[in-house]
Chain A
């Protein structure tokens, strides 16, 4: 956990009082809605279909139990008793009242949580691997660097009014759980031949209506230079990114229009001017940030405790353990993913009571720590294996032990037309129906790893382009129509999916997905050939034939 010091606390409090003044000026009419819009967006407040929506940052997906309790408190006191975890390590509250927002922010500030730059055309919440610091084989904890970058990008005097939003993600593992290739800047922590820490820097990834996979702009940037290098990229973007067309304003379009070679030359030239400035970070600064991260005092525990051996007789426990428990870097411990995708429910939602109960479980079993992943699930990062059976029982009681992590019912979906004013089509009801179709755990397990992503409009908040199966809702002649792609992925092998055929109506989507899955089961070479690998081997055609033959 990162512990705020007096300096961080002061800044967050100053931001809360500034926002209070902005809300007051809006309510008194001193600010027009047009002026206020930009200001509220800078602080995570959208106006949606029914109410204001409030998006709170969970930097690099790390939460302490008292912070989760504060989120539960906000859900209960200012909203309708639940919150929605997003694909970018944020939580959203959908029914907040403008006049109460400053109070909600003040309550969150007490535990070091804020909503700065969770929307608007600025540098957004820095995201990272939800298994940071506990994943086996990690280069080093990417959260140290994430925090450094979080601070540097917070209320940046030059880059708070960019052409468009700007997202940075960091990973330190070979298996990319942070989806860095679909970010404006993706950072992969690596070591050079001298053993020094640095980053492979990718730029220009992003989804939306013009999706691009990020390209490597520099193979190694030394850790001490990372802030100046990011600053150089931002400075080029701030000056030359397009501002005439909102749909062409992301950095991916600038990179595409200039070409990565020319873009990287521009960045290089700018960087040479500023790399030896006060942006250079010395080891002491890194040490200081590292010193404010606390790590659990792990016990020396056996690899296979008796408790686990005994519980193995329980088939339900075993199904959950095999699905939701991952290896930890420390022997005797596990990382437990908590599915927020129960059958028939909106993906990523958690009630205030669930959040409070989870905070208690985190205190009891995970050194008070909770993680949030971009798949809209949570994790307890330090669970002793001997505690797994007890934890499972407790989670099951809360409705938080659905053993479907990474399976077909672990769907990523945007809020869609049920909440969002940008949406053209519903997302959540599609997700709910699909989870019912594949509710049988045996069937879901037989299918194996399969990510379905659903977006209710071209803005792609549900990351449909990179779903193994992607579902995009659009509006055609006043009707919701869904386009289906297959073969996308968001990890280290990131790729965009391909359309399998004409769009289908709302009522047909689940049938079509069932057909796609049936086609896969018939086409796969072996039971362990994943859906994504079968699509890679065979391409779209055989799927298209089978799905559309009878339509």
Chain B
């Protein structure tokens, strides 16, 4: 499954650990939420980066105390129909000001890229090679956005206000 990071296909330095896989001495690891919470101190002490895979039915509040310490948070789309992780992503970015890497994992197709970028994701475990290769092109598919999110893109309402003022309404 290709990883897209920074807009292009990249190597994934993280190794995914199961709940019971022995912890490697070094290297970057991605750990399921349950194990992460149970072994947080030990995990964070070792060399190598630690990321957490957070399921979409687990309250994100529980992760908040660790946000400054993890290298990545991977949110899960068990199928692309299941959109719970979009809310989790926006909460992490916009309410808890998480600035680290936010990864989308699960059934990720190119048709979700724009939504995911807008919700604050910046890396993507893409299911199909062709979709991963089409990332940049697909990400630019839209130039108009109606809703404000934390991604900083200017909204249609805001753009209209700018136009109104620059046109000097009433003059």
Contacts and interface: CB of A to CB of B under 8 A. Distances in A.
Interface of A: 5, 7-8, 10-11, 14, 17-18, 22, 30, 35, 38-39, 121, 151-152, 154-162, 235, 238-239, 243, 273, 277-279, 281, 284-285, 288
A288 B159 CA distance: 11
A152 B147 CA distance: 6
Interface stretch (B6-14, B23-31, B79-87): B79-87
A300 to B, nearest CB: 29
Nearest to B137: A21
A16 to B, nearest CB: 11
Contacts of B82: 161, 243
B119 A288 contact: no
Interface in B115-171: 115-116, 118-119, 128, 130, 141-149, 155-157, 159-161, 164
Contacts of A39: 111
Nearest to B88: A239
Nearest to B127: A35
Contact of B148 (A162, A278, A288): A278
B45 interface: no
Interface of B: 80-84, 86-88, 90, 95, 109, 111, 114-116, 118-119, 128, 130, 141-149, 155-157, 159-161, 164
Contact of A158 (B80, B145, B149, B156): B149
Given A7-B160, A278-B148, A284-B161, A35 B109 contact: yes
B85 to A, nearest CB: 9
Contacts of B144: 7-8, 10-11, 14
7 contacts: A8-B144, A151-B146, A152-B147, A157-B115, A157-B118, A159-B83, A239-B87
Nearest to B114: A157
Nearest to B78: A243
Given A155-B146, A238-B86, 6 more contacts: A14-B141, A17-B141, A158-B119, A235-B87, A239-B84, A278-B155
B86 A152 contact: no
A151 B80 contact: no
Contact of A5 (B81, B95, B119, B160): B160
Contacts of B156: 7-8, 11, 151
Contact of A7 (B83, B147, B149, B159): B159
Which of B81, B109, B142, B164 gathers most chain A CB within 10 Å? B81
A121 B157 CA distance: 25
Contacts of A154: 146
Contacts of A30: 128, 130
A198 to B, nearest CB: 19
A143 B156 CA distance: 18
| Closest CB pairs A-B (n = 3) | A161-B83, A157-B118, A11-B144
B13 to A, nearest CB: 28
A152 B80 contact: no
Contacts of A281: 157
A151 B155 CA distance: 10
A158 B86 contact: yes
Contacts of B81: 38, 121, 161
Given A14-B142, A22-B111, A160-B115, A238 B161 contact: no
A17 B143 CA distance: 13
A382 B109 CA distance: 48
